[in-house]
Structure formats: structure tokens, C-alpha cells
Amino acid sequence: LKLESFLLSGSLKKLTPPIKKGLSKDKKPVIPVIVGSQLARRLSIKEEQIFTALTGSSQKTSTHSSSHHQWNGQGAAPQSIILKVAGIFEAGYDEYDSRFIYMHYEQAEAVFGTQDSVQGFEIALTDPNLASELAPQIENALQWGLGDPQDWGEALLFNPLKATRIATRAEENFSVQGWYEQNPALYMSLVYQKIAILVVLSVMLILASCNVSSMLMMMTLERTPEIAILKTMGASNRSIKRIFIIEGLSIAIVGSIIGALLGFIFCEWILANGVSLDPQVYGIDRFPVEFRWRDYFLAVIGSIIILSIAVSIPARRGSLMSPTRGLRGDQLDLRT
């Protein structure tokens, strides 16, 4: 994904390398940056506005983390830098929107004193699902040599030779991690949430099938004389059972189709209007919706199968009723 697609305002073209122009009153350079939307809101800054930040003067006087730099109390004290908001981005993920600031690579080298070395870089894949599989191969190639880029096929969207030259200039050891390994807690919580939702929906479907089964049982009790008359006229147990199954399946099929259509309309409404969430609570700013026709198909087929099993019980009991008892007005025993 490119940063341009997440920009709310501004342009990446404003991120220029270090120049002598644009000095502030205290003769410090003004550095253009792209700021996350949540961070900009918290600092009350807008595009083209200038603000001051504190940073370590070099790698030796700062401790790096994935989200910010902190002075470790050793060496030179943090120094102030003057930043100018060249744009504001919103990724929709609070971890990025509230902590990330982007600047030109050469500007970052000058600010943090990391000339000819990097603390990390990202690699984009055409298929994100291959990240965990390709991470060991990329790490091995960067550690032991250039390797053969053809070994990775067309999955990589970066220059392996350039990446290797950058990595070999790093003073410390490095590791290669996929997107899943970087945020395991987040993605595991999403997996557990999906399992929980599946369990809840399955329980609701089973309860609905029980209601359909109970309705057919009550209908069987009410139609006891009619069933007896049909049997005295020569109707077989199979034909009686078929009547109840057809009626139950018609309810299941029509109900499943109507439910799928209502779900589709509801999802379209969410996509069109959106449901805002508090990013500080949920980590995302909008309720995510993704259409998967396979899920729709499996939900409809699964509901029909479960309801078919549910309607088979009253259908079987109704077909086994004795015509004599039905004509006498005896109630049918539907206990299984």
C-alpha cells in the first residue's frame, strides 16, 4: 500500500531532502513531515502549521522503538527540531494514526545522525499471505549474500540488490519479520473474534431450527385427523413424510434467501454510510465490512442442512401415526 492512498491533505512531493532554505527565526531548518490524523488532532496542528519536537541527536543518544524515540539519559541531551505539516494521513489504525510521522529519508538521516545506515525498512509483497513464508528466505539472502532474486519469483516489489547494500551498512544485527509476527496479539484477537462470532451464529441457527421443528410438531398435532384420513385413503408413510419435509424445506429455503438478501442490503448500507468507532477503544476508526460470496453461500447451505435435519423429526413421527388413533381423535405422541 502507498502512503498517498491514505492522505487526507497535503502531498508527498512536499517531503524534500535537506536544503538551506526555509530557516526559522533561530536559524534551524524547517523539516516538512506527514503527520497521523490522531496525532495531529491531539497536538491541534493543521497543514502548513509549524511545531517543535524533541529528538535524540544521534543513534548513540537515543533508543529506538517501533513508534518513537526516547532519550536514554546517556550522551548528549535531546535537541529540538522544527517541523512543518506537509500533509496529514489516516490509515484507520490508531497505532499508526496516533504515533507515526513521516519525513524525507535524507532528512531523517540528518536529524538522527544515521548517515549510511538504517534502523529498518519495509518490503511490499504482491501476496501479503506469503510474508511469513518469505521472511526467512529474505533474511538469509541479506545476511549471507545477494542470492538469486529469481528464487523469490515475482512476489517481491523491491530491489534485492539495493536492499542488501542498505542492510550491510547497518552497524547492528537485523531480523526480518512478517506483518503477522509484528502484531501477533492483534491478529490472534481477530482470529478468536471470528471463532466467537461463528459459534454465536451457529447457536442462533440451531435455536431457529428448533423453532421450525416445534412449529411443525404443533402443525402435526393439529392435522392429526387429516393425516388419518389421508392414510385411510391409501397414502403411504413415505408420502406423508414427504409432505412435511417439503413444507419444512420451503420454510428453510425461503427464510435463508430472505436472510441473505437482508444481510446483503445491511452490508451495502454500512459500506455506503459507514459506522464510526472510537479508534482509541477499538483500534480502528470504522466498522470493517468485506463481502465474501463464499461465506454467503456456506451460510445459506448450512442453514438449509441444519433445518432439514430439524424438520425430519416431526415428519417422521407424523408419518408413523396410526389411522385408527387419528380418527378417534387421539393426540399423536411426538416424543423422540
Predicted confidence (pLDDT) per residue in 269-317, tens digit: 888 887 777 776 766 777 777 778 888 888 888 888 887 887 787 777 7
Which residues, in sequence order, are bridge partners of residue 101? 35
Tell me what pLDDT residue 88 has: 92
Tell me what pLDDT residue 334 has: 47
Query: CA-to-CA distance for 91 and 89, rounded, in angstroms?
Result: 7
Query: 62 and 25 in contact (C-beta within 8 Å)?
Result: no
Q: CA 13, 17, 20: angle at the middle one, nearest 5?
A: 120
Which residues, in sequence order, are bridge partners of residue 31? 83
Specify the range with the lowest mean pLDDT, choosing from 2-11, 112-121, 213-222, 283-292: 112-121
Q: In the chain, pLDDT over 90 holds for what percent of residues?
A: 3
38-96 per-position pLDDT tens digit: 899 889 898 888 888 887 654 443 333 333 444 444 545 677 888 999 999 988 777 78
Q: In the chain, pLDDT over 70 holds for what percent of residues?
A: 73
Mean pLDDT of the chain: 74
Global pTM reads 0.52
What secondary structure letter does DSSP report for 285? S
Q: Is the pLDDT of residue 160 over 70?
A: no
Confidence band for 330, pLDDT divided at 50, 70 and 90 = low
Tell me what pLDDT residue 27 has: 67
Tell me what pLDDT residue 208 has: 78
Question: From the DSSP assignment, how many helices (H) and strands (E) are in the chain?
Answer: 12, 7
Query: 317 and 336 in contact (C-beta within 8 Å)?
Result: yes
Tell me if residue 158 falls in helix, strand or coil. coil
Tell me what pLDDT residue 336 has: 45
Cα distances (angstroms) measured from residue 72 to each of 54, 101, 104, 172: 13, 21, 25, 18
Tell me what pLDDT residue 34 has: 92
Which residues, in sequence order, are bridge partners of residue 125? 156
Q: Is the pLDDT of residue 243 over 50?
A: yes
